[in-house]
Amino acid sequence: MSILVNKDTRIIVQGITGGQGAFHTEQMINYGANVVAGVVPGKGGLDFNGIPIYDTVDSAMDENDANASVVFVPPAFAADALFEAFDTSLELVVAITEGIPSHDMMKVNFSIPPHARLLGPNCPGILTPGETKLGILPGDIFTPGPVGLVSRSGTLTYQVASNLTNSNLGQTTVIGIGGDPIIGTNFIDCLELFEADPDTKVVVMCGEIGGEDEEQAADFIKENMTTPVVGFIAGRTAPPGKRMGHAGAIVSGTGTGTAQSKIKALEAAGVSVGQTPSEVTDHVKKFL
């Protein structure tokens, strides 16, 4: 089994003809994703490699029974694309776009209807090995298996997943929740889904400095999870006040959001925290 997405997920790509959108849509299709439509304002009626393009998400939904969308729309127009997606019956919207202003994302987050979920923005997306991918994760480093993987960072996810795969530890579903301060789906949402998935035997959670999401996740794990969790936190050596690449990856001047506080909270919740990515693999082995 898997969480959120599988081979039956019917996908719309918003921004399907842009550089990123076009390249990754092809990669998604090659991986097995069921892309049913694209949306590009002004290009309705055309097609992308045989996939019909529509001017609006609404018109794409009229003719295609999609349930998820992937958004590659540039930052200045991304919020509008997300509002548009959430005005339909779409259940999952994956925002890949990096650099959407936080003020926009706050408003988007307050506009998500109860039936829908946002993943991202500034995330690599979500992939269920052997079935489908929505986003930009490189397909060939994943393999099916019992490990649920959730992470704030893209390439760190790849590093950890690749270590797991090389040790014959496959994955149920791999989710990148994104490195921005304001995101849709968070760690707790994913942990809850993995906990409910009978095929996920261990969860790996990769956090990083900034914010308090990892601390809150630790509370959740302590109170609600029976599935073992292995953790990793990036940014132990980051100096306060400096943004380490991701907009959200910053230790505040007053010292909140440090890796140390996150590791301490996770360990107190019974999570095995790896000091290095390869230690993460070692911890996972103990539980399988």
Partner 1 sequence: MRLHEYQAKSVFSDGGIPIPPSGLANSVETVLEETNRIGYPVVIKAQVHVGGRGKAGGITLVQNDNEAEIAANKILGMDLKGYLVYEVLVEQAIDFVDEIYLGVTLDRSSGMPVAMVSSEGGIDIEQVASSTPDAISKTYVNPLLGLSDSQAKTAVLDAGISPTLTDKVANILLSLYNIWETSDATETEINPLMVSKDGDVIATDAVLNIEDDALFRQKKLADLRDTRNNNKLESKADLYGFNYVRLDGNIGIIGNGAGLVMTTLDLVDHYGGKPANFLDIGGGANSVRVENALEILFEDENVDSILFNIFGGITRGDEVAQGINDALENFDTLPKPIVVRLDGTNAKEGMEILNTDHLTVESTLESAVQRAIELASKGGD
Closest C-alpha to 195, from 150, 148, 143: 148
Q: Active-site residue 246, yes or no?
A: yes
Residues 67-96 that bind partner 1 (CB under 8 A): 75-76
Among 2, 128, 151, 281, binds partner 1 (CB under 8 A): 151
Q: How many residues form the binding site for partner 1 (CB under 8 A)?
A: 65
Site string for partner 1, 207-246 (x = CB under 8 A): -xxxxxx--x---------------x-xxxxxx--xxxxx
Residues 252-271 that bind partner 1 (CB under 8 A): 253-254, 259
Alpha helices in 110-176 (DSSP H): 154-166
CB nearer partner 1, residue 224 or residue 276? 276
Among 17, 59, 64, 162, binds partner 1 (CB under 8 A): 162
Q: Are 116 and 93 in contact (CB under 8 A)?
A: yes
Residues 26-65 that bind partner 1 (CB under 8 A): 27
What beta strand segments (E) does the chain contain?
Answer: 10-14, 34-39, 47-48, 51-54, 68-71, 92-95, 117-119, 125-128, 132-135, 144-151, 171-176, 202-208, 229-234, 272-273
Residues 163-192 that bind partner 1 (CB under 8 A): 179, 181-182
C-alpha pair distances (Å), 84 with each of 133, 208, 272: 22, 31, 41
CA 129 to CA 142: how far, in whole Å?
Answer: 6
Residue 111 near partner 1 by CB under 8 A: yes
Crossing angle between the packed helical segments 75-86 and 102-109, to the nearest 10 degrees: 0
Contact set with partner 1 (CB under 8 A): 23-24, 27, 75-76, 99-103, 105-107, 109-111, 124, 136-138, 140-141, 151-159, 162, 179, 181-182, 206, 208-213, 216, 232, 234-239, 242-249, 253-254, 259, 275-278
**Residues annotated catalytic, as ranges:** 246
